Amino acid sequence: MAEETLVLFKNIRNPKYSKSLEGYKKAGGYQTLKKVFGMKPNEVVQTVKDSGVRGRGGAGFPTGLKWSFMPNGTGKPSYLIANADESEPGTCKDRELMLKDPHLFLEGMLIGCYAVGCHHGYIYIRGEFFPAIKSLNTAVEELYADGLLGPDPLGSGFHLDLTIHSGAGAYICGEESALLDSLEGKRGQPRVKPPFPAISGFNGCPTSVNNVETLACMPFILGDGGVEAFKSFGPENNSGTHLVSLSGHVNKPGVYELRMDVNMKDIIYGIGGGIRNGKKLKGVIPGGSSSSVMTADEVDVLYNFDELANIDTMLGSAAMMVFDEDTDVVQLLHRITRFYAHESCGQCTPCREGTHWSRNILRDFLNGNGSDEKLRRLDRVGGNMLGTTLCALGDAAALPIQSFVKKFPDDFRKYYANK
Amino acid sequence: MTSGNIMPINNELKMPVFHIDDQPVEFHPGEKILSAALRNGEKIPHYCYHPGMSIVATCRMCVVDIVDLGNGRPAPKLQTACSVDAAEGMKIETMNQKVEEGRKLVNEFLLINHPLDCPICDQSGECTLQDYSFEYGSGKSEMDYSKRVYGWRDIGTFVSLERNRCIQCSRCDRFTREITGTNEFGMFNRGHELTVDTYTDRPMTNKFQGNMADICPVGAITEKEFRFKRRVWKLKKIRSICTGCSTGCNITIEHDRNEVFRLKPHENQNVNKWWMCDEGRLTYRIMNERKTRINRPLGRVSQNLQHISWEDAYRAIAERISEMEPTGNEVIALTDTHASNEELFLLKKLLKDGFLSDNVFCPLPKWEQIESEFFINTLITTDKTPNRAGALALKIKGDAENAEVKKIIDGEPKVVIILGNPFETEHEIQQKIKPAQLVVHIGSYHNCWSEIADVVLPGQFYSEKKVTFTNKLQQVQSTDIAVQSLRRSRPEWQIIVELAHALGHKFNFSNVNQVFAAMAEETKAFSGLSFDQIGDQGMKLKQTFKDTGMKLVQAPA
Ligand SMILES: Cc1cc2nc3c(=O)[nH]c(=O)nc-3n(C[C@H](O)[C@H](O)[C@H](O)COP(=O)(O)O)c2cc1C
Ligand code: SF4
Ligand code: SF4
Ligand code: SF4
Ligand code: FES
């Protein structure tokens, strides 16, 4: 039976662990940073590349590669920004790290700053995360008091400041370029790409935006764990452990640290303790609300980037939402679509109009006004947002709609069959 | 010879090329597909892209199918032409089924919440949404919910906003951010409720609001001045220039049944780019002014001005002058700098050839030019005349204090010719001219001079004639005939020519091109230019000079 593999959660799972700087140091913390200061930045980047770690924020882009895009000698400052906006429905793993082991993430952040030559890092944190903001603030204060932040951390001469910036409650500000606009004090809206942030990001300077969990992997990759150990946790191209936010109708919901070669079935029935009240599984939203839904028949796959991509869905932020046979998927889809209609920034046509229109059609079903025609229309309107928008929110809204309609058509028909 | 300022002559040996629907298109390295396409006359529908502002790629209308990225591989999905760099060897399709469907879905989305109130919308007829819906839309709607509705907001002193018609292209938002730098207007709310409004909760007061109506692709922002006055398809458009100040913004004069309804900016990258100011737009009103127009020649008969024929007017002037036999010093001409280059040239020539006099004067007050990081602010000058630079180039006499002209009128001139409305606030000058034995006023409007003139000759406003002006950049630009002038009026250049004939001098000019040619021949300033070359982009004087009356001032913060 599957069980947790503790790398990121090594401290958190230790009941005696204290998350203070002292406690983290006692557990071996900031030793990796010391080691990293003895390396050249490009060696750090190369090591991260070698580890094969892919971004945990949703897109799964190789982090080492992203850092290697940061140009040198532009005459402009470089920035590393931690994306702590965690707003993808179902996802609650970054919060766990920031609340319970902030220094692990911060050590990773410091390593990242050193790797990309950033002397002023920012943590863009979701505004509603009050306890996590407090936890991070305390941890950053500790670092300044200790000298790990400031003019000369560990005698490296690498001047480094960190600022924590809290957002104002918009899902779209988790999208990296909207995040940058928001951080600059503007309306948070995704930017046209290219230019990518590595060329023109925060204030027009080279910038790397990285997810909290991604950064939290760094102490292991560059420290005693090492590249090979990290890679050994999953199949080729899916290295490392990852934090899985398991929610829905399972007996034991929670955030679990798992290898990348665990079968989804094992997650649901092993780690998750099976379906609540002995019910049958109906389906799973595998990677946050933006991913295409899977039916019960499809869950016999390894839970990682490539395996899920192979079956036309995605790992996303590794937020598994499990639902049982009693679930009304039309209501579920309506709730998801309502979320996207509310969170669309509205600047691009298909997403602005399509999210709201789809939501209206879904409401018709709920109100007993569905029809074959409307089901077809829902699929069409949803599909018209796929690949036609500026940022991935359009796709995120389209994929659930298209997959629910395709995989659970009878559930929609039930709403109007007796009329 | 090529005219220097239409397109810069390309010094590169060869520009890189990509293909749109198998047609080769040249592009500047770094240029976007859409920009290069439009520059080369290709048609790709678009809403949010504007060449003068940043690229946001949000309307999604400009999608194209890149079947070859230049490396033999296609783009995985449709791409927005406004935001993708053109590349050597790239092959683009803009008319295949995929692209057609891509446009159709965008247009469908834009229409689901659109009021479609074309019959009462001023934009109707020049609306991009209307045009594209017709050309690329499907003609039917599957939206059966009530539409998004917003209340009316007073957003500007010059423009009106109908938010329900807005397609959220953000051009207006970018305009106050990037073009005027005033930042008082922007996008509010998000998602389906995204809309535009002022941040201040008050109407905008910036001096360039009319441009927002121009760039708004739909009837959301319209000019208050023009609203509900005329359907745009009735308007005929004539390219001309604004004479509201010495900038000489390029415009179209838009008229119907001999009435001018509005002025719109006409793109000229060397002068006004795409813009003009609101004050300039309002000068259309003067073009329709009839009450104060001089509508036929007038002669003073025992104190009163009476209608006379052109022949009688010229004959009377000639007779009086031959009776007086004035010397050169006894003849002066006063003109304002609203007069065209040709008119100033002919006036000077008339005095020189007719009376051996150099006494042509105009007011040349000091003026201020705004300096600003925002180009549009630099359009406005305090010189509210269109041809100061022309007067300087032609060496019409004058100074900031009008000292010279005051000195000469102390010599009690016998014959005074007035062109337009010079020195209108200088009572002293007017009082001294009054007793002159012959005062001839040539002009379009009654003013202090027509009151004291012995003969009044009706001229034409610049919207009624073809002449040239020299703007503050010393760029020579031409007007054109937009509306018919009054039946008995004549263009001033023609009046001066006829007057010369009446006085026995052969001025062989039957059109303005010939006058211009003589001016180019006889004056240094205009040498090397010809009327035909001026074209619709204007031509800079070959030898520019420094106007010492100009003072640079900072734009007010
Ligand atoms: C609509 C939208 C919302 C997103 N929200 C988040 C988020 O809350 N947290 C996050 O880390 N990444 C989010 N992302 C992904 C980021 O754009 C970006 O890819 C990520 O922060 C990069 O970090 P990584 O490479 O470490 O994954 C979002 C993307 C989109 C399109
Ligand atoms: S896809 Fe949606 S959220 Fe993304 S830029 Fe467009 S409107 Fe905004
Ligand atoms: S008001 Fe006009 S210019 Fe402004 S966003 Fe709407 S459609 Fe675009
Ligand atoms: S800036 Fe001057 S020339 Fe331009 S529109 Fe205004 S008044 Fe006319
Ligand atoms: S013109 Fe390209 S997306 Fe609007």
Whether residues B337 and B466 fall in one domain: yes
B69 lies in the same domain as B120: no
B83 with B115, same domain: the answer is no
| Domain co-membership, B274 together with B303 | no
C-beta of A91 in contact with ligand 1 (< 6 A): no
- Give the CATH number of the domain where residue B208 resides: 2.20.25.90
- In a domain, residue B102? The reply is no
In a domain, B135, yes or no: yes
Smallest Cβ distance to B56: which of A346, A347, A377?
A347
Nearest Cα residue in chain A from B146:
A360
Q: Compare all CA atoms of chain A with the CA of B143 and give the residue at the minimum distance.
A: A357
**Is there an atom of ligand 1 within 6 Å of A61 CB?**
yes
Phi, psi of B334 (to 5 degrees): -120, 135
Look at A347 and B168 and tell me if their CB atoms are within 8 Å.
yes
- Within this chain, do residues B85 and B151 fall inside the same structural domain, yes or no? no
User: Chain A: residue nearest B78 by CA?
Assistant: A388
Q: Name the residue among A119, A140, A165 with its Cα closest to residue A24.
A: A140
Domain end, chosen from B287, B307, B332, is at: B287
Residues 6 or more apart whose CB falls under 8 angstroms from that of A42 comprise none
Same domain, B365 and B434: yes
Q: Please give the backbone phi and psi of residue A417, each rounded to the nearest 5 degrees, phi first.
A: -60, -35
Who's near A304: CB < 8 A, 6+ residues apart?
Answer: A234, A235, A238, A242, A260, A261, A315
Regarding an ipTM greater than 0.85, the answer is yes
Interface test with A, best of B32, B48, B107, B108 (most A CBs within 10 A): B108
Question: Which residues from A are below 8 Å from B55, CB to CB?
Answer: 192
- pLDDT (tens, 9 = 90+) of chain B, 557 residues, equals 333 344 444 555 689 999 999 999 999 999 999 999 999 999 999 999 999 999 999 999 999 999 999 999 999 999 999 999 999 999 999 999 999 999 999 999 999 999 999 999 999 999 999 999 999 998 888 999 999 999 888 999 999 999 999 999 999 999 999 999 999 999 999 999 999 999 988 899 999 999 999 999 999 999 999 999 999 999 999 999 999 999 999 999 999 999 999 999 999 999 999 999 999 999 999 999 999 999 999 999 888 999 999 999 999 999 999 999 999 999 999 999 999 999 999 999 999 999 999 999 999 999 999 999 999 999 999 999 999 999 999 999 999 999 999 999 998 999 999 999 999 999 999 999 999 999 999 999 999 999 999 999 999 999 999 999 999 999 999 999 999 999 999 999 999 999 999 999 999 999 999 999 999 999 999 999 999 999 999 999 999 999 999 999 997 76
**CA A169 to ligand 1 centroid distance, Å:** 15
Q: Which two three-digit tokens encode residue B511? A: 């059109």
Q: Which residues of chain A have pLDDT under 50?
A: none
CATH number of A21-231: 3.40.50.11540
What spacing in Å lies between the alpha carbon of A88 and ligand 1's midpoint?
9
Query: Which amino acid, A365?
Result: F
Residue B429 lies in a domain: yes
To the nearest whole Å, the CA of A384 is away from the closest chain B CA by: 7
**With b meaning 16 or more CB within 10 Å and e meaning fewer, what string describes B308-342?**
bebeebbebbeebbeeeebeebbbbbbbbbbbbbb
| Interval A32-68: pLDDT, tens | 999 999 999 999 999 999 999 999 999 999 999 999 9
pLDDT per position as a tens digit, A99-111 = 999 999 999 999 9
Q: Which residues of chain B are within 8 Å of residue A388 when distances are taken between CB atoms?
A: 60, 63, 78, 102, 105-106
Residue at which a domain ends, from B95, B124, B150: B95
For A329-417, CATH number? 1.20.1440.230
A389 touches chain B (CB under 8 A): yes
Residue B555 has what pLDDT?
A: 79
The values of phi and psi at residue A277, to 5°, are 55, 30
User: What's the CA gap between A137 and A160, in Å, rounded?
Assistant: 16
Are residue B120 and residue B30 in the same domain, yes or no? no
Ligand 4 mean position to B380 CA, how many Å?
6
Residues of chain A with CATH 1.20.1440.230: 329-417
> Phi, psi (5° rounding) for residue A345?
-75, -20
The segment(s) of chain A belonging to CATH 3.40.50.11540 are 21-231
Given an 8 Å threshold on Cβ–Cβ distance, is B190 in contact with A354?
no
- What's the gap in Å between the CA of B92 and the closest CA on chain A? 17
Test site for ligand 5: of B32, B44, B47, B105, most ligand atoms within 8 A of the Cβ:
B47
Inter-chain contact A388–B143, Cβ cutoff 8 Å?
no
Contacts of A356 in chain B (CB under 8 A): 191-192
Task: Kindly list the residues from chain B whose CB atom is less than 8 angstroms away from the CB atom of residue A379.
Answer: none
Domain range for B410 is 298-554
Does any domain span residue B40? yes
In 3D space, the residue among A205, A137, A152 whose CA is nearest the CA of residue A37 turns out to be A152
Centre of ligand 1 to C-alpha A172, Å, is 9
Considering CB atoms only, which of B56, B112, B168 is closest to A192? B56
Longest dimension (CA), chain B: 90
Topology, domain A244-324: Ubiquitin-like (UB roll) (3.10.20)
Residues B261, B168, single domain; the answer is yes
- Closest residue of chain A to B79, computed from CA coordinates: A388
Q: How many domains does one find in chain B?
A: 3
Q: Which of A347, A353, A387 sits opposite B109 (nearest CB)?
A: A353
For atom 2 of ligand 3, the residue with the nearest CA is B216
Residues B264 and B380 in one domain: no
Q: Is some CB atom of chain B closer than 8 A to the CB atom of A367? A: no
**Interface contact A344, partner B, CB < 8 A:** yes
Residue B103 is assigned to a structural domain of this protein: no
CATH number at residue B342: 3.40.50.740
Instruction: Spell out the SS3 assignment of chain A.
Output: CCCCCCCCCCCCCCCCCCCCHHHHHHCCCCHHHHHHHCCCHHHHHHHHHHHCCECCCCCCCEHHHHHHCCCCCCCCCEEEEEEECCCCCCCCHHHHHHHHCHHHHHHHHHHHHHHHCECEEEEEECCCCHHHHHHHHHHHHHHHHHCCCECCHHHCCCCEEEEEEECCCCHHHHCHHHHHHHHCCCCCCCCCCCCCCCCCCHHHCCEEEEEHHHHHCHHHHHCCCCHHHHHHCCCCCCCCCEEEEEEECECCCEEEEECCCCEHHHHHHHHCCCEHHHCCEEEEECCCCCCCCEEHHHCCCECCHHHHHHCCCCCCCCEEEEEECCCCHHHHHHHHHHHHHHHCCCCCHHHHHHHHHHHHHHHHHHCCCCCHHHHHHHHHHHHCCCCCCCCCHHHHHHHHHHHHHHHCHHHHHHCCCCC
Does A192 sit within 8 Å of B55, measured CB to CB? Answer: yes
Sheet arrangement for strand B79-80:
B23-26, B17-20, B91-93, B63-68, B79-80
Last residue of a domain, one of B64, B95, B126: B95
Q: Residue B170 C-alpha to ligand 3 middle, in angstroms?
A: 6
Task: Report pLDDT for B4.
Answer: 36
- B310 and B263 fall within a common domain: no
Q: Where in chain A is the domain with CATH 3.10.20.600?
A: 244-324
- Count of A-B CB contacts under 8 Å: 87
Question: A244 vs chain B: nearest CA distance in angstroms?
Answer: 30
Does B397 share its domain with B482?
Answer: yes
**Shared domain check, B307 and B268:** no
